[in-house]
Amino acid sequence: MTNSFAPLLRSLSGDLQDPSVLWQVGVIAVSLLIGTGVSYRVKPRLAGGTGSRLEVGLDNVRRLVLPLTALVLVLAGRAVLTIFQLNINLLNVAVPLLTAMAIISFVVHLQRLVLRPGNLLATFERTIVWLVWLGFAFYVMGLAPDILEFFDNVSFKVGGHRISLLLIGQAFLWVAIALLLSLWIGHLLEDRLMSASGMAMSLRVMLAKLVRALLVLVAGLIVLPLVGIDLTALSVFGGALGVGLGFGLQKVASNYISGFIILLDRSVTIGDLVTIDKNSGKLTKMTARYVVVRAQDGTEAIIPNETVITSAVINQSYTDRKVAISSSVQVSYDSDLELAMRVLCEIAQKNPRVLHEPAPTCLIKGFADSGVELELGAWVEDPEHGVTNLRSEIYLHIWQEFRAHGIAIPYPQREVRVVNSAVAENAK
């Protein structure tokens, strides 16, 4: 490998004695100053306000303004100096340096938008920075062509195809770029869809997942020809995948298809109070494979989407979130029945969770052995906050108000008569 770093140093040292170096330094300095000024002017317009991925993405674009603006100005300055036949060796070094800065800023901040903060993200950022700067160093020293040729010579054959280390590296590079761009665009479109208040939540979730899957698929179809893979070769793989779905993955495929059907028909949505296969609670999460139902005691049931499609689902919030609750109580036959019914209705009306329309009602359910059985009916529109605790509050107020108004709640009692057999015989 030929090392051209020494000639480059000699040319740069010669430029230091040439008056044209002042023009080159001036072009670089002015380009950096203008780039910094443009960056700070653009900052208020691209600053993230609400923390959404779209605004955060625009805020990160501001970091590209400085290197890109300076790069454009340096290229323009180099073209002008070339017209006047002045040396541009220093500008030739500045161009790849600014390009490396732009690439690092763009890729690193794309990763921050796509990946979650953590050790993995930090590792990727360090790897990208080192790879870009090593590529820049090899380019400056003139070693890049020799290194690329070396990796291209290390090859092996698979069938009739020649595969080299250079081809493998290019494949990884294009796949990483395509995935980053597709996931970034998917996140931006997902934020826009989720902010569409005029669209149902289930439809928004379905469209967001569908758009992300389509973007990844399109990215794969674009990248495969770039790395030398013929798309017609995927027909065999597609046939094998179809056979696998038909036999071993039919349940998985059924759950995913059922998930899209649920999101599309909007039979259930996030926040509904449902009962699915003996699991009752609030629907808190919907994915392409399962739904999550959170019970009042905090337990969460993960239910496959196929179960939601094939089994009966009780949705208490399908057309109306109002739910009726009933509380039964007995009063003594000696109590004022009309007063007891009026007190029960007043107790329900005073509760802040009970709706005034429809108004609470009290009905006579029947005449029991120990007393008259009354039933208090009321409507609430927040069943997700619990019905058992509301019924407990109502019973406590019934106990307090009945004692205050002298309304007796009878004890269970039975009247047992014992008839002597001898007395019965004499009576005959």
How many whole angstroms separate alpha carbon 163 and alpha carbon 157?
6
Q: Which residues are CB-neighbours of 1 under 8 A, at least 6 positions away?
A: 143, 146, 147, 150
Q: How far apart are CA 126 and CA 122, in angstroms?
A: 6
Q: Output the tens digit of pLDDT for each of the chain's 428 residues.
A: 344 444 555 555 555 556 667 787 888 888 888 888 887 776 555 444 444 444 444 455 566 787 888 888 888 888 888 887 777 777 777 787 787 777 777 777 666 666 666 556 566 666 776 777 677 767 666 677 777 788 778 777 766 667 788 778 777 777 777 877 787 787 777 777 777 766 666 667 777 777 877 887 787 777 777 766 666 656 666 666 666 656 666 777 788 788 878 877 778 888 888 888 888 888 888 887 888 998 877 889 999 988 888 888 888 777 777 878 888 999 988 888 899 999 999 998 988 888 888 889 999 988 888 889 999 998 888 776 777 788 888 999 999 999 998 888 887 766 667 766 555 566 55
Q: How far apart are CA 31 and CA 208, in angstroms?
A: 41
For CATH 3.30.70.100, list the domain ranges present in the chain: 323-405
What was the pLDDT predicted at 299? 87
C-alpha to C-alpha distance for 153 and 151, rounded to whole angstroms: 5
Say how far residue 114 (Cα) sits from the centre of its chain. Answer: 11
Which pLDDT score, from 0 to 100, does residue 167 have?
78
**In this structure, what DSSP letter does residue 295 have?**
-
**Per CATH, domain 323-405 is 3.30.70.100:** yes
Report pLDDT for 15: 56
Peptide bond into 19 cis (omega under 30): no
First to last CA, the chain: 132
Q: How far apart are CA 28 and CA 176, in angstroms?
A: 32
Residues 245/269, Cβ–Cβ less than 8 Å: no
pLDDT of amino acid 396 = 92
Give me 315's structure tokens.
Answer: 């949705």
Q: Give the distance between the most distant pair of CA atoms in the chain.
A: 146
Predicted local confidence at residue 11, as pLDDT: 58
Distance in angstroms (rounded) separating the CA atoms of residues 273 and 315: 6
Residue 140 near residue 8, CB atoms below 8 Å: yes
Compute the CA torsion angle 194, 197, 199, 203 (nearest 10 deg): 30
**Would you give the DSSP letter of residue 360?**
P
Q: How confident is the model at residue 399, as a pLDDT?
A: 92
User: What 3-state DSSP class applies to 302?
Assistant: strand
Rounded Cα gap, residues 116 and 297, in angstroms: 31
Cα(170)–Cα(151) distance, integer angstroms: 11
Query: Are 408 and 331 within 8 A, CB to CB?
Result: yes
